[in-house]
Amino acid sequence: MDLKDIAAAAGLNTPIRHQLFIDGKFVDAADGQTLASLNPHDNTPIAEVAMAGKEDVDRAVRAAEKAFPAWSRMAAMDRGRILLKLADLILENAEELARLETLDTGHPIRDTRMLDVPRTAGCYRYFGGMADKFQGEQIPVEAGFLNYTLREPVGVVGQVVPWNFPLMFTSWKMGPALAAGNCIVLKPAELTPLSTLKIAELMSEAGVPDGVVNILPGLGSVAGQYIAEHERIAKIAFTGSTATGRGIVRASAGNLKKVQLELGGKGANIVFEDADLNAAVEGSLTAIFHNQGQACIAGSRILLHESIAQAFLDRFLPHAESIRLGNPMDPATEMGPLTSTQHKERVLSYVDVAKQQGGEVLLGGKPGEGPLAAGCYVQPTVVRAASSSDRVAQEEVFGPFATVLTFKDDDEALRIANGTEYGLGGGLWTNNLQRAHKFAREMRSGMVWINCYKRVNPGSPFGGVGVSGYGREMGFDAMREYTQVKSVWVNVDAHIPSYYPR
C-alpha cells in the first residue's frame, strides 16, 4: 500500500503534512533527511517526515526573529482573536485531527475524539481569552513616584515536547507563548509529529503571521539539542524525561536562557480504609490505564490501606483485565498500543525487574497476542512490590503498569507517597475531611487530587517539584513563564534632595 492509501484507509480527507514548517511554508530539510513515522498498531509506515538539522533550526530562528517585532506589538486583543479562531478551526477539523492523532500515537479514537481534540481547542480558547487580560501592576511606592510593571514577551522561545499527548501538549506550550506575544521554534517528538504539522496549517488559516510559529520535526539529539544550546533563543520550555531535562539545563547555560521543565513522575494514588471503594477502583483504573499509562501524571503507585487491600484488588483486577485492548481506530477499543516497539520492550522489561526483587505479578505482564502481536501492545499489568524501595516503586515505567503497595497508617502512607525523587501529581481517596486536607498539604507534589485523579484544566497550574521539574503550565502561571517583568519608575512630582549637596 502506498502512503496515500494508508491515509485514505485511516479515513483522512486531507494530505498528511510531512515537511518542516518554517516562515509560514512547508519545506524540506536543508539536507533532505527524512524519518519514517510508523503506525504503532502494526508498525507499518504512515509518512516519511522531514527531519530538521542545525541549518533548519537557524532558518526557523531567523524567521521567528523577523516576525517578533510586529507580533509582540500587535494589540493583545488581536492576538487573542487569532487564537480563538484557531480553536474554532480545530473543532471544525476535529475528526481529521482525531484520526491523525490516533494513527500516529495509538491513542484510542474514542479518547482523541472525546478528550485530546476538545481539550486542545479549549486550551487555545482559554489563552485566546487570556491575551488581553494578563497585565502589569501599579505598585504603591513612596510619594511623588509612579511605579508600574510591564509584562513583556521573552522573544524567540524554543519548545520541545514528547510523544505521549502531542496535540494537547503543543497547545499547552504554544497557547500561552503566543498569547503573550512570543515567537516559537517547536520540535515535536520524532515519533509523533503529524498532528502538530496539521495545527501549523490551521494556524496559518487562522491568521498567525508567517514566522511566528515554526515547527521542526527532528531528532532530540540533533534539532532538540541545538534548540537548547541556541544563543538567540531566549527561553526553552521542555516536556519529557528527567534525564533529557538535565541535559537541557546544561545545554542552555551558554546564553543562560530561561528554562521551564515538565519532567517525569511516579504518582502516588492512596486509597484509605474509609474511601468509597467503587469510586476509588474506577478512578484508579483511569489514573493508570488511560492513554496506556503513558502519562507523566499517571497514578502508577497504588497505595492501599492493608484493611481494604484485598477488597480493592478483588474489584480492580477483573475490571483491569476486561479493558478492551485493540486497534485504536475501532471506537470500541479502550486501550491501544504504546507509541513504539522500543517503548513496549522497555515497559515489559519491568516485569522481570519486579520479579527479581521479589515482586508478584497480579495481572498481565505480557505483550498483545494474536492479531495484536505485530503492534506495540502491552496488556494491563499490575504487580505487587515487595518494598516501597523496589525499582518498580521508584522508577517511572510510563506504561499500563501499576505497582501496588500497602500501608498500616497515615504516617506510613505519607512516607511512601513522598519516598521517590519525583513530585508531579498524586491523589487520595478518603471521606475524612481533615485527613484529605492534611495530605494535600503534606504531599510533595505539584498537583493533588482528592477523590478524583488526573484532572486538568487550562486555568489550573500544572507542573512538578523535585526531579519532576520546575515552572508551571496553564493559567496565569503560564503567562508569567512566557513573559518577563519590567519595572518602570516615573518621577511625577517628587522632590529628590541632593545626595551630594555642595
Q: How far apart are CA 338 and CA 375, in angstroms?
A: 8
Which contiguous run of DSSP H or E holds residue 437? helix 433-442
* 226 vs 312 by CB, closer to ligand NAD: 226
Q: How far apart are CA 68 and CA 57, in angstroms?
A: 16
Q: State in angstroms the smallest separation of the CB of 49 from ligand NAD.
A: 13
Query: Is 183 known to be catalytic?
Result: no
Q: Return the C-alpha cell found at 262.
A: 515538565
Residue 81, beta-bridge partner list: none
Where are the strands (E) in 16-167, listed by range? 20-22, 25-27, 34-39, 44-50, 138-139, 145-153, 156-160
Q: How far apart are CA 356 and CA 361, in angstroms?
A: 11
* 164 vs 388 by CB, closer to ligand NAD: 164
**DSSP 8-state symbol, 403:** E
Q: Where are the alpha helices (DSSP H) in 257-308?
A: 277-289
Residues with Cβ within 8 Å of residue 411, at least 6 apart in sequence: none
**Cβ atoms < 10 Å from Cβ of 210:** 14
* 80 vs 162 by CB, closer to ligand NAD: 162
Q: State in angstroms the smallest separation of the CB of 432 from ligand NAD.
A: 29
* 249 vs 277 by CB, closer to ligand NAD: 249
Query: Is 306 known to be catalytic?
Result: no
Task: Measure the CA angle with vertex 336, ends 329 and 4; round to 5°.
Answer: 40
Q: How far apart are CA 454 and CA 111, in angstroms?
A: 15
Task: Name the residues that contact ligand NAD, by CB under 6 A.
Answer: 160-164, 187, 189-190, 220-221, 224-225, 228, 239-241, 244, 247-248, 262-265, 296, 396, 398, 424, 464, 468-469
How deeply is 72 buried, as exposed, middle or buried, from its count of CB atoms within 10 A (0-12, 13-18, 19+)?
Answer: middle
Q: State in angstroms the smallest separation of the CB of 48 from ligand NAD.
A: 18
- DSSP of 301-340, one letter per residue? EEEEETTTHHHHHHHHHHHHHTS-B--TTSTT-SB---S-
Q: State in angstroms the smallest separation of the CB of 312 from ligand NAD.
A: 25
Q: State in angstroms the smallest separation of the CB of 422 from ligand NAD.
A: 9
- Cα 237 from chain centroid (whole Å): 11
* 169 vs 272 by CB, closer to ligand NAD: 169
* 80 vs 224 by CB, closer to ligand NAD: 224
* 105 vs 381 by CB, closer to ligand NAD: 105
Of the candidates 123, 183, 296, 376, the residue annotated as catalytic is 296
Q: Return the C-alpha cell found at 337.
A: 498500543
Residue number with the shortest CB distance to ligand NAD? Answer: 220
Q: State in angstroms the smallest separation of the CB of 196 from ligand NAD.
A: 11
Active-site annotation, residues: 262, 296
